[in-house]
Structure formats: structure tokens, C-alpha cells
Structure 1
């Protein structure tokens, strides 16, 4: 029996992309080449690994093999990393997971920076909530992730992201250098029920102000539109600044609170060869931009 890395890579791509056509686009191969690689793997194992439906799904055997295939590819990437470090170059595709706010407010600038600083590395972005991001990193769907307040020592610190009050530009407090959360008690408070809610609750609790949101809005764009319309005010992190239209202001908040953004590979197992290079490059870039 001979199982090789291209076969495993094709198998994983089909599973993660949900079909042969999408996997072919992901790998930069023809659909027939992907089909041939998977079929040859199945012949070696003398059993089907995939149910060819829409979307494609794994058989019982395929599901058992999946984590081992990911481990094998991770090991291959470790070998590539050693060779790349020796040669002084980094290549490949990195699948990066992050939350919507980070995806919209931080990642576009980093993608532009990486395209210049690490031109041989392709970064593909997966957007999800904090739970999804952690799960994707843990099970190998993502090679790297921007995590919020992870355990100390994990990954490379990118930024300290402070929370700010978001007000219409014609709000009575819009020209103040600092907004006390207590001064917003008369405004309707809008909240997006995501990973930031616990911190926003803490801000209210530290100030002794009741946390009584008037509206809960899942989509960030809708939340911003409602503040624009004068329906209420909200709190977002500093990384959201680039997403706000000119008729809204983002102001320092009292009590002060922030979150730490960290770019990391998986906690267990080898990192993709280019992840550390991307993380160090991003941290240096963001530090320079704050000078």
C-alpha cells in the first residue's frame, strides 16, 4: 500500500471545500486531476472515503482517516518549513480564521502588507464567530487564527484593541475627548450579541451602570446603520474605526477596557511553515503604524 501527500491533500481539499470543483479551484488543479487523486487514494485503501453527493461528505472510513490526513499534511509542512528557513524564503497558502470585526477592520491592511512583504505566501481568510474560529484552528480547517484574549504565551501579539463609544456626529457628547459610560444612560443602547458582549457588560458593571440594551443586532452593518439613524449608541473596539462612516465618531471610553489580538497557529501540532513569518511581519507592521 502506498499513500502519498498529493492524494491526502486532494482528499482534504474536497472535504473542506464541499466538492471536487471547489477543491480544484482551491488547489489550482483541474477537477479531473483532483478526482483522480482521490480515486487513487480510495484504490490504495480498497474502500470509498467520500459520498459523492452535494455537498460531498465523508464515509465512516473517510471520517476516521480525516484527522490522520491532517496530521500527515502538518508534518509535511514542518519539513517544508525547515527547508524554507534554510533557503530564507516562505511559500504556500495559509488559511487564516478570524471574527467579522477583525476581518473587516484589521485584515485588509494586513493582506496588502503581506502581499508586499511575503509575496510568495497566499492568505485565504475564513470568517466566523469566536467559537468557530477556535474550532477551525483546533481541527485543522484553518492553519492560523487571530484569537481574542487567548491564554498567555500563545502566538504573537498583534495589537491591544481598546473599546470605544460610537455616537452620531451630532450627538451632544460627540466633541468630548472622553465619554463616561454613565453619561450615555439616557441613550438607547444597541448591542451585537457576539464575543464582545461580556466585556461591554463588565464596562457597565465597573461604572455601576445598568446594562439594559434596547436592541440586539446580529449584523455589524445593521448596528452601524441604526446608530447613524439616531436610534441609539453602541460600543465597538478600536479596530472597527475604519468601518465607520464619517457621520459617526469613535471616542475613548471610561471605564477603559481593551482586548488582545493574537495571531497564532494551532496550540498542538506543527504550524504551517509561513504562519510565524506572517505573524511576526504583521506585528512589526502594526507597531510601525502606531508610531
Structure 2
């Protein structure tokens, strides 16, 4: 006779938290539980399945079975969130924790303002931020590590996805970053061709594909002198006069006083869109946060002279 297993949501929630946080201690902090309670929940899940799901190392890793269980556990919690959403919409009260992923420049340039607005507008919703490069952010949203993300130029919402296309937070133009004592620093705009003789710096984990496109549009060969991983290092090297680079407008808050960020020709930009996963239901609180962000942007645009920083995308019918 086959033994019948009895699983429960706290077990699955603890298992996912340990995997996503990389350890029991971090998972306990994420869940607001004691570490022993998290350990007990995962151990009881493993007993029910009669096999280990995790390799207790630093960081914690999944076993072969744990890797297979992972997507099903995410789907189970997603279904529960859908039920919670129905109840929340019926009562008009939204609560929960949303994990938001974004790139470093977005985290530092746009996210703080969003967090301030959401804290005032949706005080019962907690937003936790995960910072990664573009490929990591997309992967986290796809595999359920993140509930939401600010994506760069995402494709249009596809049929079968959650009926909310997301919110365009900004149209983010590209700019030339130069030392303030550079001969062209006082120009109203910079033609990339005028920087052809300057050593060019690039961060491979940033917007290299788009910077390559800008060079192609300008008829220039893309041949960076230095490649640095960290954005702060890139900015420091420009400060030191080692070279120049191209960053997006959202980076402006990170630029020190001895550097200038100037409009660039050819003129190119990217869309920064707050969205959820395309192929599964959104976290119950995410649509509320997206609608809140859209309203905030519309209000900001109506109160500000000149073009809006960003505007909500049109809602999709259905």
C-alpha cells in the first residue's frame, strides 16, 4: 500500500525561502520566523517525501529531487496567492510581500522614489528589492525568485499572460559621461563621433548591446579600451581621466559633481517597465502596486512642466 503524504503550505513556503535566500538564517529573517522553525518546516517536508531536498552547505543547494520539486512548490504558492487576491479584492485590503528585481542603475535611480510612494500609498504591502544584472533580473522573474521586475525594453504582453501589461516607469535616454574639465563638457550635446579619440570604457554587465548599437548608428567601430564590471569603478575611472563612457539618464543621481552627463547623438533610449511574469499569475499585491505606480506617474506628469519622466502603458482589454 502506497504511503499517503501530507504536505502543507508552511513547509513549501519555508523550502522556497531557504532556496531563494541561500540559507536557513536568511530565510528565517525573510519569513519573520526563528531559524529553528524554518529548519523544522523543511525537515518535516523532507520526512513527508522520504528524501532530502536540500544540501546543507554554504550556500544551501537543492538536491536532484529538490530541483524537481521547486517549480511545483512555486506553482502551489502562486495558486494560493490567487485565492488571496480574490479575497483581498473583495474586502478592498491588500497585504503581502513582493520581491522586486532590478538592475543596479534602476535600483539606485528609480526604485527609491517608488518605495517611498508605495510606503505611503500601500503601507500594508512590503517590497523587498533584489539587485542583479539584466540577465539575472529576467531569470529571477521567470523562475519565480522575484515576483516583479523593472525590465529593459520587454516584449509586448502576450496572449495568455496576466491581463495587465505593466507600467512604463521611464523612457531612459543614453548620455555621454565626461570629466567636467573635458574640452567638450560645456557643449549642450555630444556627438559620439567627437569622442572617437578618447579611450572608451564599458561595463559588460550594463548596456553593452545598446552602446554597440549607438556606435553602429554613428558609423563607429566599437572598441572599448577598458572593461570593468562594477558601475562605481566605471564612474571612478572617468573621474580619474582614464576615459569616457555612455550611461543612461537614470544614472544621473549617481554622478559626482566633477563629472557631467550630457545628451548624446545619435539619440537613443530604452523603456523601463515595471511588470510581473508573463506566463503565470501575478503576486496578489503586484497589480495594486503597478496601478499605484501608474497613478503616481500620471499625477507627477500633470504637476510638472515639460515632458513626463514616465507614463503608464495603456491597459489591455480582456
| Deviation of 1:287 (Å) | 4.6
Q: Does 1:3 align with 2:2?
A: no
Q: Does 1:87 align with 2:98?
A: no
Alpha-carbon RMSD: 1.7
| Deviation of 1:281 (Å) | 2.2
**Which residue of structure 2 lines up, in the alignment, with residue 66 of structure 1?**
70
| Deviation of 1:105 (Å) | 1.5
Alignment partner of 1:159 out of 150, 165, 170: 170
Contact 1:159 1:286 in 2 (8 A): no
SS of match in other structure, 2:76: helix
| Deviation of 1:8 (Å) | 0.7
SS of match in other structure, 2:257: coil
Q: Does 1:116 align with 2:120?
A: yes
SS of match in other structure, 1:276: helix
Give me the whole-angstrom Cα distance separating, in 1, the residues matched to 2:98 and 2:285. Answer: 7
Instruction: Report the more deviating stretch, 137-146 or 105-114.
Output: 105-114
Matches within 5 A, 1:97-176: 97-153=101-157, 154-176=165-187
SS of match in other structure, 2:173: strand
Distance 1:173 1:284, change over 3 A: farther
Give me the whole-angstrom Cα distance separating, in 1, the residues matched to 2:222 and 2:62. Answer: 46
Give me the whole-angstrom Cα distance separating, in 1, the residues matched to 2:260 and 2:97. Answer: 37
SS of match in other structure, 2:156: coil
Show structure 2 runs of 5+ residues with no match.
158-164, 305-318
Distance 1:248 1:284, change over 3 A: farther
| Deviation of 1:257 (Å) | 0.2
Contact 1:159 1:283 in 2 (8 A): no
**Which residue of structure 2 lines up, in the alignment, with residue 257 of structure 1?**
268
Give me the whole-angstrom Cα distance separating, in 2, the residues matched to 1:267 and 1:195. Answer: 24
Q: Does 1:31 align with 2:42?
A: no
Give me the whole-angstrom Cα distance separating, in 1, the residues matched to 2:226 and 2:151. Answer: 27
Task: Show CA shifts across 1:263-286 (max 9, x none).
Answer: 111111111011122223223334
SS of match in other structure, 2:48: helix
Matches within 5 A, 1:192-207: 192-207=203-218
Task: Show CA shifts across 1:95-143 (max 9, x none).
Answer: 1111111112111221222211211111111111111111111111111
SS of match in other structure, 1:193: coil
**Which residue of structure 1 lines up, in the alignment, with residue 222 of structure 2?**
211
Q: Does 1:278 align with 2:289?
A: yes
Show structure 1 runs of 5+ residues with no match.
none
Contact 2:167 2:293 in 1 (8 A): no
Contact 1:165 1:251 in 2 (8 A): yes
**Which residue of structure 1 lines up, in the alignment, with residue 191 of structure 2?**
180
Distance 1:260 1:2, change over 3 A: same
| Deviation of 1:288 (Å) | 4.2
**Which residue of structure 2 lines up, in the alignment, with residue 220 of structure 1?**
231
Equivalent pairs counted in the alignment come to 291
| Deviation of 1:160 (Å) | 0.7
Task: Show CA shifts across 1:131-188 (max 9, x none).
Answer: 1111111111111111111102353221111001111122222222111111212222
SS of match in other structure, 2:279: coil
TM-score by length of 2: 0.86
Instruction: Report the more deviating stretch, 208-217 or 268-277.
Output: 208-217
TM-score by length of 1: 0.94
